[in-house]
Every structure is written in C-alpha cells, then in structure tokens.
C-alpha cells in the first residue's frame, strides 16, 4: 500500500514535522501495510480504547485521566470529521502534537 502519510498529515498541519511523521510511520510499522489497520475507526470503542491504552498511555506515557484522553480523541475526531478515512498516522500525529510529544518520534 503506497500511501503519502505526510500529505495526509499536512492537510491538517501544513507545517508538520517530516521527521516526526517518519517516526510515527516507523512506530506503526506493519499496521500500515493493510488498509483496515492503517485507519482508526472512531465509531468502534474497542479501537479508541486501543489507541488510548497503546498509544496515549504506553507510547506517549501520558498519565492524564481517561476523561481527558477521551476528550483529546474526540477533539481529533472532530478535526478529521470531513475526511471519510482517518489515517492512523494522522491521528497519532495530531494526538502527539496536542500533548507536546512529537519529540518522541524525531
């Protein structure tokens, strides 16, 4: 699957950091090889719980309350509402940027 992850991120963050995008792509790894796993389904609570536990809490090491993390996910969902597909790289970039954690991926 040849996807221009940077182009998708830059639809929402025109001056997005290319090094951070590459780091997020590396972090996602094999998940980006299949269309279904390269997307985040905000309508699936198991999926959003997985993003919250695996990415926000584990990778970004956030200790915020679940309510705060859910609010951040809702904010990203709202940002991406016009886009039918929510690319995992874009979702992760927006979340990492919101919490000031892009340095983890550079």
Q: With CA atoms as reference, report the closest residue to 99 among 65, 70, 72, 59.
A: 72
Q: Can you give the residue ranges of every domain in the chain?
A: 5-100
pLDDT tens-digit series, residues 10-25: 999 999 999 999 999 9
Q: What does the alpha-carbon distance between residue 51 and residue 81 come to, in Å, rounded to a whole number?
A: 18
| Three-state DSSP string of 38-80 | HECCCCCHHHHHHHHHHHHHHHCCCCCCHHHHHHHHHHHHHHC
pLDDT tens-digit series, residues 56-68: 999 999 999 999 9
pTM of the shown model: 0.95
Task: Return the CATH superfamily for domain 5-100.
Answer: Jann4075-like (1.10.238.120)
Q: What does the alpha-carbon distance between residue 90 and residue 63 come to, in Å, rounded to a whole number?
A: 22
């Amino acid at each position: 699957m040849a996807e221009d992850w940077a182009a998708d991120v830059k639809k929402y963050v025109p001056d997005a950091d290319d090094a951070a995008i590459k780091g997020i792509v590396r972090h996602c790894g094999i998940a980006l090889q299949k269309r279904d796993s390269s997307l985040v389904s905000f309508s699936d609570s198991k999926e959003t719980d997985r993003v919250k536990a695996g990415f926000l809490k584990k990778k970004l090491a956030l200790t915020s309350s679940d309510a705060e993390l859910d609010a951040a996910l809702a904010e990203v969902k709202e940002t991406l509402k016009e886009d039918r597909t929510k690319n995992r790289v874009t979702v992760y970039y927006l979340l990492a940027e919101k919490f000031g954690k892009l340095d983890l991926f550079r």
